Chain A
Amino acid sequence: MDKIYFDHNATTPVLDEVFDAMLPYLKEEWGNPSSIHWAGRVPKKAVEDAREKVAAFLGCSPVEIIFTSSGTESDNLGIKGLAYAKKKKGNHIITTKVEHPAVLKTCKYLEKEGFEVTYLNVDEEGMIDLGDLKESIRPETILITVMYANNETGVIFPVEEIGRIAKEHKITFHTDAVQAAGKIPIDTSSLDVDLLTISGHKLYAPKGVGALFVRRGTRLVPVIHGGHHERNRRGGTENVAGIVGLGTACEIATRDMEKERAHLEKITKRLENGIIERVPDIHINGGGSPRLMNTSNISFEFIEGESILLGLDMHQIAASSGSACTSGSLEPTHVLLAMGKTAELSHGSIRFSLGRTNTVDEVDLLIDVLPPIVERMRSMSPLYAGSNEPVVFKR
């Protein structure tokens, strides 16, 4: 059985081109980019070349890019770094209830540190209300952090308008663009965004590397203290190979984006329509909002998403539900709960997130395999009216 991967919002494979570009920096060019001697020269250049590529990808200047270890670290640096830098000006932060834990838990931490945080609601289609945002702004608001696109539903937030509102009120705007990067064009030169997070492994670079765009003039207090790396904003010897990988991946994303978007849009629609046609009692979560073209989040009534995932895994098909926790088991998703879905429907959700190597044939296979799995599980579910379960379980 061939393995099929529909979980690209979790992580992506490393592209061959990316791997090839990285390889020299894991072997012969092992020098420290901070060294002034010969051994540091080539790695230093490689890091700066990568910075230019990432900058070109995001429409900014290379000095506005800080390399980090991950999207999570970029979020931490952007949010904590800004909050501490501005704490004399105010202590209020605005975010949403559907952020990634890297943002949510950072905000929770800052609450313990004396900051106040407003968590904006989303409607049943997973969209925030700009009116709510405006009303939440106070004189002491120092930061708005709203994700570019949601990792679970793919819903794209109106970052242009949010940026404009933030700018009007002279509030710093951070966006976690981990899921958007590489899927839709991001241009910081036309967006009023001050801080923007991306992660390597969501766009075909390896794990262990991320970047934070920091608009010139935005003050940040470091979160990781150490040497003079990354213009004193992030200590730690650079992950040269990872950074080269991220740079290369950004270059490829810029080059291939239009083509890939068309392909992904086609196969994701095919997948979603195929499931709608063949499986009754489902809901497309966030279906009424603008969404990333590769993400389809579907709730299956009467059963748990977790069980469907296992059933699919037995057919070597990888998808996801909620967010993976330490044990590899699944939590009910805060995103769907925030959208007003019942706990049952939130538990019954599956996220298919497609990527550039997925094919029409793979999608068709899924559409064949999934309906009987759902049918069998529903027949075991006491919640399902059509259940033909002969035995009443005793309580």
Chain B
Amino acid sequence: MTDKKKIVVAMSGGVDSSVALGVLNEEGYDCTGISMQLWDYAAKEESREDTLAGTGATGGSCCSLEDIAVARSVADALGLPFYVLNMEAPFEREVVEYFVESYLDGNTPNPCIKCNEVLKFDVLLKKALGLGADALATGHYARIEKCGDRYRLLKGIDEEKDQSYFLFTMTQFQLAHIRFPLGSMTKAETREAARRLGLKNSEKEESQEICFIEESGYGEFIKERTGRNIKGGDIVDPEGVVIGAHTGFYNFTIGQRKGLGLSDGPYYVTKVDATENRVTVSKEEGLYSRALIATGINWIDSEAEKAALSAKGLGGIRVKIRYRHSGAEAVARLEESGRLIVDFREAQRAVAEGQAIVLYRGEEVLGGGWITKAIAQD
């Protein structure tokens, strides 16, 4: 074996992770590509009694068998070893089940963060280290910086592409053993590098969709998986007056405007009540929250945690309430119970229970958690 640092690169078949492999290889690391096989539509099809295998259902936008074939060809072209690890079981148990349950609870899940937390940064990282690798690399746009004996998680240089929001669950151990080679690159630079490296997927479209959801949408997916015939119910206004009917509460998320079928709108979904099978809507102004409660908090910066526990709370921060959110000024207070209360300086639109919040100071991720309650504007 060689003395070169050994890095396993998690590959999805997309441009970003392919470039991650390419640049680390150029930098002289001993690289191995690994793809996780997470969800095989062909196999799922086959198990359905009444359908034929592989009837064109390719649905997923990442980690499908076609994408794995692309990842393999990228590694082959660079002359690097490549493996596929079957992680369908933990993926189904930890990500898909969570996704379905979250919707059935009337929440808005974020399966990509779960997948990072449970699969990439835990199962896959351990496998990579078990294989003798020094680190695992992914194609995320974020940076890790060593500061004394601690690691800091920072936004990617390319503000537009920054993916640090999806990474708030990372532990110090993970930060010490993960590399994000694209963190200091812009998307344009990545595309340029892809061309330079001769990657044939350099012009591939970005995947934005949830990888295991087919074109028919998540409502159909949930219906099919649970086999439950969830009936339609009432659409009510903030006062509880029935103003319409819906086709199943899981078809709705906070802030949704389309598909309500109400006249004299626009109306927006403000609450999805799974137990009562009721969807509450309001006009634009009812969509704002002045505060929220989050749990399951992971602190990357322990000083921030201390500040949040203090009477004054943690100020001077911006809080993102979804990926495409610019971040809002807020004060965060941590209770002994572990609940985090976030008070916004200005009320925020469409705070969705089940989504992640991430706390930033400048470009640094201090920590994050999961929204359990939105507190409406008075």
Residues of A bordering B, CB below 8 Å: 303-304, 306-307, 310-311, 313-314, 325-332, 373, 376-377, 379-381, 390-391, 393-395
Given A329-B37, A329-B84: A307 and B130 within 8 A (CB)? Answer: yes
Q: Are A329 and B169 in contact (CB under 8 A)?
A: no
**Are B173 and A391 in touch, CB under 8 angstroms?**
yes
Which chain A residue lies CB-closest to B65? Answer: A327
A-B contact pairs, 29 of them (CB 8 A): A303-B130, A306-B85, A306-B86, A310-B83, A311-B130, A311-B132, A313-B81, A313-B83, A314-B32, A314-B81, A314-B131, A327-B37, A327-B40, A327-B86, A329-B84, A329-B85, A373-B132, A377-B131, A379-B130, A380-B126, A380-B127, A380-B130, A381-B126, A390-B173, A391-B171, A393-B126, A393-B171, A394-B298, A395-B118
Indicate whether B144 reaches chain A with its CB closer than 8 angstroms: no
Interface residues of B (CB under 8 A from A): 1, 32, 35, 37, 40, 42, 65, 68-69, 72, 81, 83-86, 89, 118, 122, 126-127, 129-132, 169, 171-173, 298
Smallest CB–CB gap between B76 and chain A, Å?
A: 12
Select A310's contact among B1, B65, B131, B298, beta carbons within 8 Å.
B131
* Alpha-carbon separation in the docked complex, A326 to B35 (Å): 14
Q: Enumerate chain A residues within 8 angstroms of B42, measured Cβ to Cβ.
A: 326
Q: How many Å lie between the Cα of A286 and that of B61 in the bound state?
A: 42
Smallest distance from the beta carbon of B305 to chain A beta carbons, Å? 14
Q: A310-B131, A329-B85, A381-B130 are in contact. List 20 more A-B contacts (CB 8 A).
A: A303-B130, A304-B127, A306-B85, A307-B127, A313-B81, A313-B83, A314-B131, A314-B132, A327-B37, A327-B40, A327-B84, A328-B83, A329-B84, A331-B86, A332-B89, A373-B132, A376-B130, A377-B131, A380-B126, A391-B173
Q: Give the nearest-CB partner of A393 in chain B.
A: B122
B86 touches A326 (CB 8 A): no
Please judge, given known A-B contacts A306-B85, A313-B81, A393-B171, whether A326 and B65 are in contact too, CB under 8 Å: yes
Q: Chain B residues near A381: list those with CB within 8 A.
A: 126, 130
Are B173 and A307 touching (Cβ within 8 A)?
no
**Distance between B234 CB and nearest chain A CB, rounded to angstroms:** 37
In the assembled complex, the Cα of A350 lies from the Cα of B90 at a distance in Å of 21
Q: How far is the CA of A379 from the CA of B298 in the complex (A)?
A: 25
Q: Which of B68, B126, B171 contacts A394 (CB 8 A)?
A: B171
B173 touches A393 (CB 8 A): yes
Complex CA–CA separation, A330 to B36 (angstroms): 11
Question: Considering only CB atoms, which chain A residue lies closest to B72 in the complex?
Answer: A328
Distance of A328 Cα from B68 Cα, bound (Å): 10
A307 to B87, CA, bound (A): 12
Q: Which residues of chain B are near A304, meaning CB under 8 Å? A: 127
